[in-house]
Amino acid sequence: MKSTASPTVTVCANDNQSERSMGRTTKRPADGSTRPAEPRQVGAGELAERVGRWLEVERFADYCPNGLQVEGARPIRRLVSGVTASLALIDAAAEAGADALLVHHGWFWKGEDACLVGLRGERVRRLMASGMSLFAYHLPLDAHPELGNNARLGRVLGLAVAGTGGERDLVWHARLDRPTAAAALGRRIARRLGRRPLAVGALDRPIERVAWCTGAAQDYLEDAIALGADAFISGEISERTTHVAREAGVVYFAAGHHATERYGVQALGEAIAGACGIEHRYIDVPNPV
Ligand SMILES: [Zn+2]
């Protein structure tokens, strides 16, 4: 078990002062006068390079490429973020006049048919026709100590991080102020996420230590138990999850894959907008799973 204190990482910690001028396309005139600021923009490659450094994408062996997955036709002035690069999100982003789409669930997953036919072909056609770039960050965005899905979910749920552990350090944990009934914790999750979680396991047990990992991390339940968690929160649930929770005497909350992974990509979009001076907007395409 690996446990680390909550790290504090500043988004631009690896960047120097030139960060502030990133994406400017106009130089100050030779006479030193100042002109009204033109809309900022940034090239897709430059943006990918910058974000890749923030999220340390090279550290991750992932199931998909992280970074610029599709290079669009123009520089980026308006960025739209969302959870999944679905047709609905592509259309909504294009409608919003986006130059780039930033997602957690992109394309080109390992084991997937590489041919761009059928539904995958349609998504690609629609994106290419819009001229937007597509950026996707999967595990590096789950894991980032400041902008990541786990970090942000902890913040949304009001959990003060005590440490991380489990596989790839992706299970985060916190101690509640006082022992809390499972029903009360379930209500807190429902209130904060706007979606009622499914709770299984030892529902009568008071909860003191909570662990969480966003998305489809139900099989990290045993990692959470090894970390001493009384309850584990993730997005999805499998049939087997119920039995593990019951037999270990812990509570498992399936709080929604989409619902738990809405926050990292928004934080990253905001960070990019701040660093590059471009517009950013999050578009939610609701998903009950
Ligand atoms: Zn996910």
Same domain? For 113 and 181 the reply is: no
Between 149 and 34, the more confident residue is: 149
Tally of domains within the chain: 2
Same domain? For 46 and 113 the reply is: yes
Centre of ligand 1 from the C-alpha of residue 73, in Å:
28
Between 15 and 236, the more confident residue is: 236
In a domain, 26, yes or no: no
Query: Which value, to the nearest 10 degrees, does the dihedral of the CA atoms of residues 210, 178, 187, 237 take?
Result: 20
Q: What is the pLDDT of residue 38?
A: 61
Centre of ligand 1 from the C-alpha of residue 120, in Å:
18
Q: What is the pLDDT of residue 2?
A: 35
Report percent pLDDT > 70 for the chain: 87
Centre of ligand 1 from the C-alpha of residue 5, in Å:
25
In a domain, 16, yes or no: no
User: What's the rounded mean pLDDT across residues 28-50?
Assistant: 72
Same domain? For 230 and 268 the reply is: no
Q: How far apart are CA 245 and CA 126, in angstroms?
A: 43
Query: Which value, to the nearest 10 degrees, does the dihedral of the CA atoms of residues 62, 255, 2, 249 take?
Result: -130
Structural domain span for residue 54 = 37-138+262-282
Same domain? For 276 and 238 the reply is: no
| CATH number of domain containing 48 | 3.40.1390.30
In a domain, 65, yes or no: yes
pLDDT tens for 60-76 read 999 999 999 999 999 99
Same domain? For 160 and 250 the reply is: yes
In a domain, 21, yes or no: no
Centre of ligand 1 from the C-alpha of residue 237, in Å:
13
Would you say the C-alpha torsion 245, 247, 250, 251 has a positive or negative sign?
A: positive
User: What's the rounded mean pLDDT across residues 247-256?
Assistant: 98
Over the chain, what is the mean pLDDT?
90
Same domain? For 99 and 116 the reply is: yes
